[in-house]
Structure 1
Amino acid sequence: MPDLKDDKRYANTLARGLSVLRAFRPTDNGLGNLEISERTGLPRSTVSRLTFTLCALGYLTHGRHHDKYRLGPSALALGNIAAAAFGFIETATPIMQKLANDTKTLIGVAIQDDGEMLMVKTWRPENSATIWLNVGYRMPVLKSSTGAAYIGAMNEAERNKIMSILPEDQTDECMELWARSQDHLLANGYMYLTGGDRFSASINALATPYRPSEFSEPVAFLSGAAADVLTEARMNDSVGPELAAAVEQLRHVTGQHYSVLLPV
């Protein structure tokens, strides 16, 4: 699979700057250059130049000379603009909130970001205790139910693109998961991983893909809870069909009349 970095159109400095912004998590109380270097794999000297530039442009901020970096006002503005442009999230809210209340599980939507699945919106059951996922949470593409549903909805070109950013030794695993997920999605409308295939043994989750008109690739809606609450039997008997029906309702509301597995 060709490496994007070998393409003459690929702006490596821009990619490195964006990787610095991706290093931040909602739970962080600021990051220093060393922490950013460890998360991104970039040399500390490179990180120092990038954080200086991003601070000058307002994408990062820090109060004092030795203070840690935090996302700045330009990053906030960009995020708000992006969020406002994704109309399907607002349309999905009443549907997904009802699903969260009915199933007593966390409902979320995740996108692919730099080879991982990134949670961008969650709906929690009303009057619920703490639920395990928050916005900004990241999951492996090949070891999560969310990633499996996302991959299963891809066409061949999209599958080849994601394989180009995954480690080379994961190519066969990605191909196998793509075929298995497509079969399961076509038969059931949702996908989940079990046993050693998933990255967390304490959490059960299942997911259904959706293809927003605003995106060039699918996203994945998920339902998740502790494994003793969301059992495999419950996933198949009720929660899985309910999630698939909720996403189908969203497709109907947004005027989509084609299967998510047949991208246009």
Structure 2
Amino acid sequence: MSEALAPGRDTPRGRAAAGWRDPARSDGEDGDRQFVTALARGLQVLRAFRDASEWLGNREIAARTGLPKPTVSRLTHTLLALGYLVHGEDGERYGLGPAVLALSAAFLRQNSFPQMAKPYLQDLATAVQAHVALGLRDGLHSVYIQLWRGVGQTITISREVGFHLPLARSAMGMATLAGMDEAERAPLLARLRAEAGAEWPRLEGTIARCQAEVAERGFCVGVGIWHPEINAVAAPIHSPGAQGLFAVNVSGPAFVMTEAVLRRETGPRLLETIARMRALGIVE
């Protein structure tokens, strides 16, 4: 029987790290007349669902998005009518609808890299008996687009495809930042600095360390960065013709995946997997 290790994203620190914001304030440029706030808010409602199994009421969605409850009610009504949301059995809560699945399927058809990488990353998950996730940046977060667990793995972490990790507080996010060129990274760092406030000096130091590790070794190590009981190692990946910078994250409980294990065993295995894909032209 597998043991589930809760990720603790509902702790006060987790909520602060992964808090959802109105995209009209966080992603839209001030004074941009082309930015459609209503559309952005509708998409933000969909982003409030952290995985496909969640059922949320208007009050919960309002709390996660920061949008007024009357606005949320109108948005959920519209998204329900369009098939992006469905009603739960109680008639009051909502879940993600089939139209969302159609969008994700279209994305994966357009980006073949996740499917090409699948057997190699599954082999890695089995070899290290840990979770291996492939992610892309989504605003100030990284989002899991594929996830593999080791065959026979006995300790699991309750994460699924669609799970979000904060860029500045996760190994995957750190690897993503390290893999960017300076022109792309600089504006993100400015936004992260503004969001972090007094915590920025500590985060900036971790970002700099991880960037140096990726430059020197090809991967970075996160010891309790996102959750004190979970450690991870991550690396950025560029795939020819793919849209966006990918990152591979290998994570597990801290008592198994110690810093020494990550640096001496897991990180090198991750690099070996990337080298196998590079030899076949799957990654650059």
Q: Structure 2-normalised TM-score? A: 0.80
Q: Alignment partner of 1:168: what SS?
A: helix
Unaligned runs of 5+ in 2: 1-25
Q: 1:5 to 1:64 in 2, by over 3 A?
A: farther
Distance 2:151 2:204 in 1: 39
2:219 paired with 1:190: yes
Within a 5 Å distance, the mapping from 1:28-47 to structure 2 comes to 28-47=53-72
2:148 paired with 1:113: no
Q: 1:14 to 1:212 in 2, by over 3 A?
A: farther
Asked if 1 retains the 8 angstrom alpha-carbon contact of 2:117 and 2:282, the reply is: no
Q: Alignment partner of 1:131: what SS?
A: strand
Distance 1:77 1:2 in 2: 25
Q: What's the offset of the Cα at 1:246?
A: 1.1
2:276 matched residue in structure 1: 249
Q: Alignment partner of 2:248: what SS?
A: strand
1:170-221 deviation digits (Å, cap 9, x = unpaired): 37666555543332112111001235xx121111101011123455431210
Distance 1:29 1:100 in 2: 26
Within a 5 Å distance, the mapping from 1:169-188 to structure 2 comes to 169-170=195-196, 176-188=205-217
The percentage of counterpart residues that share the same residue type is 33
Asked if 1 retains the 8 angstrom alpha-carbon contact of 2:238 and 2:245, the reply is: yes
Within a 5 Å distance, the mapping from 1:34-113 to structure 2 comes to 34-62=59-87, 66-113=91-138
Q: 1:136 to 1:255 in 2, by over 3 A?
A: closer
Distance 1:149 1:125 in 2: 22
How many residues are matched? 255
Q: Alignment partner of 1:110: what SS?
A: strand
Unaligned runs of 5+ in 1: 258-264
Distance 2:203 2:74 in 1: 36
Asked if 2 retains the 8 angstrom alpha-carbon contact of 1:100 and 1:106, the reply is: yes
Distance 1:165 1:233 in 2: 33
Within a 5 Å distance, the mapping from 1:197-212 to structure 2 comes to 198-212=225-239
* More divergent stretch after superposition (61-70 vs 242-251): 61-70
2:252 paired with 1:225: yes
Letter aligned with residue 248 of structure 2 = F
1:92-149 deviation digits (Å, cap 9, x = unpaired): 1111111111111211112222312222211111122241132232222111111111
1:240 matched residue in structure 2: 267
